[in-house]
Amino acid sequence: MILLGAGNSEDVILIVLLLSLLLAFLIKSKLFFKVLAKINKIILPTMLHKDLNRLKMFEKVVVAYRYWVTKNSL
């Protein structure tokens, strides 16, 4: 069992359960995708002025991922 420094195992299980329920709720909501879109805007590179036909495979994956997140956040 994983124990936190100041809690017992029942508290840890309750905390993990509540966090997993919160995560499941956020995944279904647009708030999760809006936060994810803001994080992506900071971290991932922009492909705005590049020709989509000449992108490498990894860059195409980044464009597709950014499109998916943006579509779900709107």
What is the full DSSP assignment across 26-47?
HHHSHHHHHHHHHHHHHHSPP-
Instruction: Give yes or no for a contact between 12 and 3, defined as CB atoms under 8 angstroms apart.
Output: yes
Say whether pLDDT at 10 is over 70: no
Output 25 or 9, whichever has higher pLDDT: 25
DSSP H helices in the chain: 9-28, 30-43, 57-73
Q: How far apart are CA 74 and CA 64, in angstroms?
A: 16
**pTM summary value:** 0.58
Parse the chain into domains and list their residue ranges: 9-73
